[in-house]
Amino acid sequence: DTVLTQSPALAVSLGQRVTISCRASKSVSTYMHWYQQKSGQQPKLLIYSASNLESGVPSRFSGSGSGTDFTLTIDPVEADDIANYYCQQSNELPLTFGSGTKLEIK
Amino acid sequence: EVQLVESGGGLVKPGSSLKLSCVASGFTFSSYGMHWIRQAPKKGLEWIALIYYDSSNKYYADSVKGRFTISRDNSKNTLYLEMNSLRSEDTAMYYCAKSTGITDYWGQGVMVTVSS
């Protein structure tokens, strides 16, 4: 199985830029996607195939990477962005998710 | 608007069975693969099953293989997850998700609690 590793938490000031990283245990090409999950809600797709912004998602969100190293960037961070962020690979089954990064405000 | 509505969850005892449903609307259900994904309380996301648009292929996570069965009825726009021999570690929120190779829409989830 492809293991995805994320930092558990990040604290950032409103208006600043934050980068959330995800490292895969083997290459997933660009089959990496990012989800936002707010408390009590289902995950919402933000970025698909490493760098494509899902329709309706603010342009403050962007993604990059290929192979094993990926990043999700939020710039600038707004209060509404407080959530857990998960990376997911779809290069192979089983689909796997990172353990999530909790974004907190300083 | 894509909508996925899960139902059928509840509190059950270890060893028992439960069948979840996910009713889809707002898209051509019969054209898309569908997933079940779960999330234990305060934990991360775990993929558990995939079914192709025409039920020709089904795949399962090792953690549920042999105990859970994914199925669908395209005439009813409904996805199912039959869960047998439930264990305490199956306690989770269960989500259905539409697939385009990417799980682009998720339902709101249904809670399953396995406890004596």
Please state the rounded mean pLDDT for residues A39-43: 96
> Contact, A27 vs A68, CB < 8 A?
yes
> Contact, A2 vs A87, CB < 8 A?
no
At B15-31, the pLDDT tens digits run 999 999 999 999 999 99
Q: B50, A93: Cβ pair inside 8 Å?
A: yes
Chain A residues closer than 8 Å to B46 by CB: 97
CB distance from A90 to chain B under 8 Å? yes
Does the structure show a pLDDT above 90 at A106? no
* Eight-state DSSP code of residue B27: S
pLDDT of res. A7: 86
pLDDT of res. B10: 97
> Contact, A25 vs A10, CB < 8 A?
no
Chain B residues closer than 8 Å to A98 by CB: 44
Chain B residues closer than 8 Å to A33 by CB: 102-103
Q: A96, B47: Cβ pair inside 8 Å?
A: yes
At B44-57, the pLDDT tens digits run 999 999 999 999 99
Interatomic CA distance for residues A74 and A46, integer angstroms: 11
Q: Which of residues 47-86 of A touch B (CB under 8 A)?
A: 48-49, 54, 86
